[in-house]
Structure 1
Amino acid sequence: MALEILIVTGIALLSMVAIHYIRWMQEDKKLPPGPLRLPLLGNLLQVPALRPYPKFREWAQEYGPIFSLRLGPQTVVVLNSAEAAHEILDNRARAYSSRALPHVAHDLVSDGQQLVFMPYDEQWKEDAATSVHHIKDKRSAFCPGARVASRPLRPLEPWGAQLFTRIQGCRRAGPRNTLILYYSSLHDKRGNAGNIWQPSGTIYQQPTPIYNVLASFAATAQPGNYLADAFPFLRKFPDILVPWRIAGRKMHEWYA
């Protein structure tokens, strides 16, 4: 009896996989060309998580400026030319400007509030319009409120040339270290948010949270770092089996 149940279960599973694969192949015929996919995983094991673009460039030379991938159950179309990107993301923005939500970065870390992770919907349009308005409004830099708000930074102005020279010298340390130095030097002369460099050459040690937040946020936003982004069923597992959920919530506390 147990053997019969095992055989029936095996046949059912194989049938489900076969049906899924046949549907997958039929859908692939409607997509741009691309590299050979593995069942269920697709091209997930072929795409480096940290540096995917060299592989994308290699595939673009073989399949053209527009090709498709499967990352688990997700279909991905890669644009490898400015013309293709302009046609799809500009001329056809209404249909193609949204994105698959990265579960960890969008749902856990930013609680759905970070513009860069939001889908292309009415909320995104409203937030984007607000951001563009503040960026383009040149008068805001000269209004009385801005002058008052920037008053604590005025004593830093004589340091501009020396700060720039020091940042140039830090390029070998990498953009992340340069960003931290630049941010902390301008953030607050008295402050506690980062390393504060004085003209005398003294460097005051920064507390770790801001440094850790920036590094962790960059890692969290990296596509491919979390299988839960590609396989939604993993999001239902308990916390003990998915440490990324605990890390995401902790990151949200820092970020908030």
Structure 2
Amino acid sequence: MPRPGKFLLGNLLDIPPYHSWLKFKEWADEYGPIYRLNLGGSEHVVVSTEKVANDLLRERGTIYSSRAQAPAAAQLLSDNLRPLLLPYNDVWRRIRRLMHHMTMASAATRYEPTQILESSRLLYDLVRDPARYETYLERYASGLIFRLAFGKVLSDQDAIAKAGTLDRILAVVHNVERVASPGAYLVDVFPSLMMLPEPLAPFKKELKALHQNELGLFRELLEDVKGSMEKGTAPDCWERTFLEKQEEYGLTKDEGAYAVGTLYEAGSGTTAAAMMSFLLAMVLHPQWQTKLQEELDRVVGNKKLPDFEDLPNLPLVRAVAKEVLRWRPVTAGGVPHQLVKDDVYEGMFLKAGTLVHANQWLAIHRDPELYPHPETFLPSRWLDPSFPTYKEPLTLHPNLQNYSCFGFGRRICPGQNIAERSMFLLISRIAWSCTVRKTKDGLGKEIDVPPYDYTAGFNVQPKWFPFDLVVRDKAKMDLVDKAYTEAKRGDPLGGNW
């Protein structure tokens, strides 16, 4: 049923400017798992169970896979180049084919040595200065994709410098998250504002300037690789793949630059955010850290760091990763899908143009039928046969393949294979080597950490919180140091860290 609204504005004023999914869940409890909203005359539908989301967005993906061309994010900020916001058309399909070639499962296995290298770098620094965990996690995620996308090393100087490479790419990430958030710009609700001349529409000047900044960055990165190719010095990377096969994929240089650039944009933010939520979970639920360490000690032992070969025998590591993403999904509100053809679902008429929101945070991932005790951080729900989420064999399940936190249907995140491997590896290595716990004040009292104090935007992460990180024993610390030294010495890109 529809949510009642006001004349002309509909439900626009009922939606908070930040963390709108909280309100969506409140309405789901009142109106059911699928209900309508009217936002300034635009038809929206919110779905709040995985079944309904899969029925519409996956099973009927041919008509539920487009995007609304929001003036602020899709047109002004992205100039119709950002794959995330493109409509379901031939250009999007060509870009998606390029992305799939770079990130499919068979390709992702080739990137494991790079993930081992960057994780050794992360761990070495994290145990020495845990207060800078945000910088190190962002450097891991960005550094990994920087190597894969452009064949370049993200140095420590780039990671911390203002206007450095990481600072520039994170600015792009945060801008698109802000601009694309529901209600951020009035022009998205009233597209007729696009008809105003620029002097009367300051949002146009602002967003066009942001577009030029990000386009300049993506072009610069592409041209650097092209120059290296002309000199015969370009390493194997995604940008090189595009340039060598540009004609085959039928994309312009700017389309290719955005395809690779936005893969970097997505990968640099989401994995880091997920790992920040992992650290938060370990601070708040230390009993699961103890269980993780017991599994890792039994399987890995004390003579080497965990690696990809261990993962089939580490079901709890994989369960913790999956539970972190259920408990605190990175893409909390998601990007709505647009219906391109009239449809009927369980007697409910849905007209072409309707925007469908899959409300992940407090609804889909907290459906009590699929996830009993939904508010509880409970990795055993993936390992205990009494739960509906249990699957066998445990050497393969749980995993993150086609998991709803990565989206639905044809719009599912193309980087899920790489993100899955990164999360499994980082969780296993951090838990194996360290204990994360609440820090204490000057009187020896533990400092409480809020369970939900998250940034705004459609990709979210916990705001900085304090914790202590204690190396479990000297033998493990020696192995961490050794892995770092070997990684730096053996870095195929020169180890210029």
TM-score (norm 2): 0.37
Does residue 34 of the first structure (1) align with residue 2 of the second (2)?
A: yes
Pick from 196, 209, 214 the counterpart of residue 173 of structure 2: 214
Work out whether residues 34 and 59 of structure 1, in 8 Å CA contact, stay in contact via their aligned partners in 2.
no
- Going from structure 1 to structure 2, the CA distance change for 1:121 and 1:246 (only over 3 Å counts) comes to same
Alpha carbons 2:33, 2:48 under 8 Å: kept: yes
Alignment-derived partner of residue 131 in structure 1:
99
- CA 1:237–1:158: 2 relative to 1, 3 Å: same
Aligned pair 1:232/2:191, yes or no? Answer: yes
Kept in 2, the 8 Å contact 1:217–1:251? The answer is: no
User: Which one-letter code corresponds to 1:239 in the other structure?
Assistant: E
1:119 aligns with 2:120: no
Q: Check the 8 A contact 1:35/1:69 in 2, yes or no.
A: yes
Structure of larger gyration radius: 1
Task: From the two aligned structures, give the one with the greater helix fraction.
Answer: 1
Higher RCO, 1 vs 2 (CA within 8 Å, ≥6 residues apart): 2
Q: 1:159 to 1:81 in 2, by over 3 A?
A: same
Number of the residue aligned with 2:207: 248
The residue number in structure 1 matching 2:121 is 159
- 2:78 is matched with which residue? 110
What's 2:44 paired with?
76
The alignment status of 1:58 with 2:17, answered yes or no, reads no
* Cα distance change of structure 1 residues 242 and 178 upon mapping to structure 2, 3 Å threshold: farther
Shift of 1:237: 0.7
1:194 lines up with 2:162 in the alignment: no
Q: Residue 93 of structure 1: SS of its match in structure 2?
A: coil
* Counterpart residue identity of residue 199, structure 2: I
Per-residue CA deviations over 1:11-36 (Å, capped at 9, x if unaligned) read xxxxxxxxxxxxxxxxxxxxxx1221
Q: Aligned letter for 1:212?
A: A
Corresponding position: 1:95 with 2:63: yes
Q: Is the 8 A contact 1:194 1:206 kept in 2?
A: no
| Residue-pair matches, total | 206
Aligned equivalents of 1:132 and 1:52: distance in 2? 31
CA distance in 2, matches of 1:168, 1:126: 42
Q: Distance in 2 between matches of 1:223 and 1:93?
A: 23
| AA partner of residue 63 (structure 2) | A
**Once the two structures are aligned, what percentage of the paired residues are identical?**
28
2:300 is aligned to none
After superposition, the C-alpha distances for 1:27-74 in whole angstroms (9 at most, x for unaligned) are: xxxxxx122111110000001122110100011011100000001021
CA distance in 2, matches of 1:73, 1:229: 11
1:121, distance to aligned residue in structure 2 (A): 1.7
Residue 194 of structure 1 aligns with an amino acid whose one-letter code is A
Residue of structure 2 equivalent to 1:223: 182
Q: How far 1:99 moved relative to its partner?
A: 2.3
Quickly say closer, same or farther: Cα 1:76–1:94, change in 2 above 3 A.
same
Cα distance 1:155–1:93, how it changes in 2: closer, same or farther (>3 A)?
closer
User: CA shift at 1:133, angstroms?
Assistant: 2.0
Shift of 1:138: 3.2
Code of the aligned partner of 1:59: W
Corresponding residue SS for 2:80: coil
Aligned-CA RMSD value = 3.2
1:101 alignment partner AA: Q
Provide structure 2 residue ranges, at least 5 long, that are not aligned to the other structure.
Answer: 147-152, 216-497
Question: In the aligned structure 1, how far is the partner of 2:49 from the partner of 2:66?
Answer: 19
1:66-107 Cα offsets, whole Å, 9 max, x none, are 000001021001111100000000111112221211211111
Over residues 152-176 of structure 1, what are the superposed CA-to-partner deviations in whole Å (9 max), with x where a residue is unaligned?
Answer: x9997753421454686445x6xxx
Residue 52 of structure 2 aligns to a residue whose secondary structure is: helix
